A and B are shown apart, each in its own frame.
Chain A
């Protein structure tokens, strides 16, 4: 990856926008100076963020800002440089399955279900890294939480609707008993009513199960409602951060990202 004077980047929003990291609950995920990209193209230049235990952190950004790249960098599926620590241990060099075992599960963009596998198998494969028992219990538990999935348990995942597939993807991620859930644009391709329902579910899950959530989104409005803290990502740099109310109250940010 080529070197570029990353620190010189200044957003239109002005240098004051990047607030100090709040002293939240114990930090679960700590990312600093993350650089990542695809081959010679560097997408993330200098990304730093953190997620505390049980927190819901939202990363907002337009198309091409690098949201999916951030997700991929954290879950280990693309090469990356910098610091990534999970519960104090570095996962920078870890392989994707080690990262899953470290407690991070990703709900990929576009759902990423296994279309030819039925719903139950989709869940079961989500628990691939769980070598101990209890998988059947987990499956039952998530079927109770998502009754619509239980109804379709022998149907092939490819035949489910968009919203159902999204739920399936979340449930699958939960099967690996994560401490941190990475959600990549869960609202993509879904009707607003379903998206609202989805975000409500994510928020509830986080509160009830104590799972931290790092969620990247284009659709800021709905995401803000469940967020504890927000980061703004602009072409590979974090240009603003703060807790949700502060960010929502900031006029310039509102205009640029929330559209009003």
Chain B
């Protein structure tokens, strides 16, 4: 039972980070209809910026917020400078550009920060071996609870944004029917930039959490996480923010349970395989995922 709880707790926490990446992908997808391949790398770059502030003496929390601000800027800039002009040419052009961005940012961060010494960064939450809670026999580390809390807070904020604010209504309108949105006077341009900026900020905090867990920021921290995030978004439904969170948590839990209880077949090394399997199964059986809308398939 202990092992079970341990796996579940761990799953909720890694799942929380997958959920954040998935949220980032979903927000962009709802607004622009594109999959942001560079989401992970944009997060990594933002994490490095946060590290730069932290290294210069800024308190970690402030540095993290600054990193998120940078992420927002990066996201908005990508929308304006790359996605919007290329959208007029063709969807393939946007796809290629985002992939080039993925590669480029990865190469950039490697080039700038790739050499030792490592860029050490602290964790936003208490991270010593004795900082944990015992719940029902299982162990849940403070930092892992923290990651889940962050995700839930951000999810809550997004919910509030979407359901209770004018801008959130505009975002939902654009996602639902962009042409009508323009007709009623919604500033679609601002909605697009805003969506990408929010996605960028979310990606940034995800990367900062990951870096905190590893104790350092490296250029490759988000590469696998991006795949997990994609799996979560696919499972939940590419246009469902709630689905993204649930998808992320589910994948986290499933992969950890599989790794713990099927050490032979899965084990730690094949956890990613679980996520990949999820992608294949979902796309085979119900591409719109658990909570997505079917219309999205006919893109």
- Asked whether A and B interact, the reply is yes
B71 — which chain A residues lie within 8 A by C-beta?
none
A187 at the interface (CB under 8 A from B): no
A172 to B177, CA, bound (A): 14
Q: How many CB-defined contacts (below 8 Å) exist between A and B?
A: 64
B266 at the interface (CB under 8 A from A): no
A105 to B183, CA, bound (A): 8
B172 — which chain A residues lie within 8 A by C-beta?
114, 116-117, 121
Q: How far, in Å, is A71 (CB) from chain B's closest CB?
A: 10
A241 at the interface (CB under 8 A from B): no
Contacting residues of chain B (142-200) with chain A, CB-CB under 8 angstroms: 166, 169-170, 172-173, 175-177, 179-187
> Are A112 and B177 neighbours in the complex by a CB distance under 8 Å?
yes
Q: Interface residue count for B (Cβ, 8 Å)? A: 18
A75 at the interface (CB under 8 A from B): yes
Given contacts A112-B179, A117-B173, A121-B169, contact A172 B184 (CB under 8 A): yes
B293 at the interface (CB under 8 A from A): yes
> Are B177 and A77 neighbours in the complex by a CB distance under 8 Å?
no
A210 at the interface (CB under 8 A from B): no
A75 to B184, CA, bound (A): 10
A117 — which chain B residues lie within 8 A by C-beta?
172-173, 176
B184 — which chain A residues lie within 8 A by C-beta?
100, 105, 125-126, 128-129, 172, 176
Q: How far, in Å, is B83 (CB) from chain A's closest CB?
A: 20
Q: How far, in Å, is A240 (CB) from chain B's closest CB?
A: 29
Contact of B185 among A96, A113, A124 (CB under 8 A): A96
Residue of A nearest to B170 (CB): A128
Q: Give A92-128 as 1s and 0s: 1 = Cβ < 8 Å from B's Cβ atoms.
A: 0000110111000110100011111100010011101
Q: Give B199-235 as 1s and 0s: 1 = Cβ < 8 Å from A's Cβ atoms.
A: 0000000000000000000000000000000000000
A105 to B184, CA, bound (A): 7
Contact of A125 among B173, B179, B187, B293 (CB under 8 A): B173
Given contacts A112-B177, A115-B176, A116-B293, contact A96 B183 (CB under 8 A): yes
A115 to B293, CA, bound (A): 11
A75 to B180, CA, bound (A): 11
Q: How far, in Å, is A98 (CB) from chain B's closest CB?
A: 8
Residue of B nearest to A175 (CB): B184
B177 — which chain A residues lie within 8 A by C-beta?
112-115
> Are B169 and A108 neighbours in the complex by a CB distance under 8 Å?
no
15 CB < 8 A contacts A-B: A100-B184, A100-B185, A112-B179, A113-B180, A114-B180, A116-B176, A117-B172, A121-B169, A125-B173, A125-B184, A128-B166, A128-B169, A128-B173, A129-B184, A172-B184
Smallest CB-CB A-B distances: 10 pairs: A97-B185, A100-B185, A129-B185, A114-B176, A112-B180, A116-B176, A125-B173, A114-B177, A96-B182, A128-B185
Interface positions of A (Cβ within 8 A of B): 75, 77, 96-97, 99-101, 105-106, 108, 112-117, 121, 124-126, 128-129, 172, 176
Interface positions of B (Cβ within 8 A of A): 166, 169-170, 172-173, 175-177, 179-187, 293
If A97-B182, A101-B185, A108-B180 are given as contacts, then 13 extra A-B residue pairs at C-beta distance below 8 Å, sorted by A number, are A77-B182, A96-B182, A97-B187, A100-B184, A112-B180, A113-B177, A114-B172, A115-B177, A116-B175, A116-B176, A128-B169, A128-B173, A129-B184
